[in-house]
């Protein structure tokens, strides 16, 4: 299944799910939203939407801390009780689990918040 099918009409902008998962412009759904790993572009290179006013703030980091942190602690406790590995195994395994998942969660949350801000502020801006 392609995520391109999640688009709606151009007047409403792209789908929130498609914009968040693909990291695309909230208006056209084609231009890239990110410059680098977590840095929002100044404007869309396809439709020219000014993205400087849309700031996700600390929301994506908080989402990552709560969701990924709770998941990692729960899994680490379960692994420790079930398998009783040495401490160095925890020191190797959990950063490899937490870091990529945190970055992915922050990208999705940041793109979703920017798309929501654009959708709800576009008439007043």
State pLDDT tens for residues 64-90: 889 999 999 999 999 999 999 999 999
Q: Is the dihedral of CA 73, 67, 60, 98 positive or negative?
A: positive
Residue 13 predicted with pLDDT over 80: no
| Annotated domain spans of the chain | 3-121
76-82: Cβ within 8 A, 24+ apart: none
Q: What are phi and psi of 78, to 5 degrees?
A: -65, -45
Q: What is the pTM of this model?
A: 0.80
Q: How many angstroms separate the CA atoms of 8 and 71, rounded?
A: 34
Give me the chain's average pLDDT, please: 87
Q: What is the pLDDT of residue 14?
A: 78
- Give the pLDDT band (50/70/90) at residue 8: very low
Beta bridge partner(s), residue 50: 43
Average pLDDT estimate for 89-97? 96
**What's the distance, Cα to Cα, between the start and end of the chain in Å?**
35
pLDDT digits (tens, 9 = 90+) for 38-73: 999 999 999 999 998 888 889 888 988 899 999 999
């Amino acid at each position: 299944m392609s995520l391109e099918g999640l688009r709606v009409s151009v007047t409403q902008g792209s789908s929130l799910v498609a914009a968040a998962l693909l990291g695309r412009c909230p208006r056209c759904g084609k231009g890239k939203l990110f410059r680098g790993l977590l840095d929002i572009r100044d404007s869309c290179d396809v439709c020219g939407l000014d993205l400087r006013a849309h700031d996700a703030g600390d929301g994506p980091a908080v989402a990552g801390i709560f969701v990924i942190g709770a998941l990692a602690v729960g899994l680490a406790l379960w692994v420790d009780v079930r398998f009783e590995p040495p401490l160095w195994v925890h020191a190797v395994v959990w950063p490899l689990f937490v870091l990529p998942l945190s970055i992915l969660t922050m990208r999705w949350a940041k793109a979703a918040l920017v798309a929501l801000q654009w959708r709800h502020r576009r008439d007043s801006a």
